[in-house]
Structures are given as C-alpha cells and as structure tokens.
C-alpha cells in the first residue's frame, strides 16, 4: 500500500515569493491534515479536511496561507507571499474514520527554506 506522498521534498525560495506544496493521501482516506513543524517542535495543525470540506482551519494564517482539496483527494497548500519565519517542515497526513481516534499516516514532509 502506498503511503502519503508529498512533493517537493525540499524547496528554497526568496522572501515574498509564492510557494506551493502538494499532497496525495492514502487511497480511501477521507480525512487530510496539513501540519507545520518548526525546528525542535512537534507538529501543529494548520488545517483539517473531511473529504472536500475544511472542518478546522482555525490555525491557518489566512492572510498568506491557502489550501484546497479538490475532489476530496489530493490537496495543495500555498503560501503567498512567503516570509522568513515560514521556514519549516510542512507535513501532510491522512486518516480514515473518526478524527481524534484514528491513526494518522504522515508523509515525509516538505522542508521549506525562505531566504
């Protein structure tokens, strides 16, 4: 069974430039998560999707971050414009069943460096 796929694995951009991350969850998983992981910290939820609906985006900085999950499968997370403080690892995860109880399966992440 294929795991959660993320691309790119690494991205280096200059500040004020836009950047996008892509995630393909495990087949059949209706719940998709985007997390931000700063160096030396645990993952922090940015947004959670149930199928196509964003059910928890309270921690997403909406002035510069946006996300979409068309057709309830793949998802894209975008930052525009990027700031120096956005340098971090962006993790995508997916799960089936009930949020909060079900195992989340994580992708390898996209490491972003903003110069």
Q: Report CA Rg, the chain.
A: 13
Does 29 sit near another protein (CB under 8 A)? no
Does 91 sit near another protein (CB under 8 A)? yes
Does 100 sit near another protein (CB under 8 A)? yes
- C-alpha separations of 66 from 16, 47, 82 in Å: 15, 10, 12
Q: How far is the CB of 8 from another protein (least distance, A)?
A: 14
Distance CA 105, CA 115 (A): 30
Does 2 sit near another protein (CB under 8 A)? no
Number of residues that bind another protein (CB under 8 A): 23
Does 39 sit near another protein (CB under 8 A)? no
The residue from 19, 29, 43, 75 that contacts another protein (CB under 8 A) is 43
* Contact (CB, 8 A) for 9 and 3: no
List contacts with another protein (CB under 8 A): 3-4, 40-45, 48, 56, 91, 93, 98-101, 103-109
């Amino acid at each position: 069974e294929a795991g959660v796929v993320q691309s790119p694995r690494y991205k280096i951009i200059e500040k004020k430039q836009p950047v996008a991350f892509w995630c393909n969850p495990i087949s059949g998983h209706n719940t998709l998560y985007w997390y931000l992981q700063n160096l030396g910290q645990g993952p922090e939820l940015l947004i959670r999707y149930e199928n196509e609906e964003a059910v928890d985006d309270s921690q997403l900085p909406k002035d510069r971050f946006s996300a979409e999950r068309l057709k309830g499968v793949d998802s894209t997370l975008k930052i525009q414009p990027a700031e120096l403080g956005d340098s971090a690892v962006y993790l995508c995860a997916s799960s089936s069943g009930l949020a909060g109880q079900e195992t989340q399966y994580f992708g390898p992440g996209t490491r972003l460096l903003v110069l």
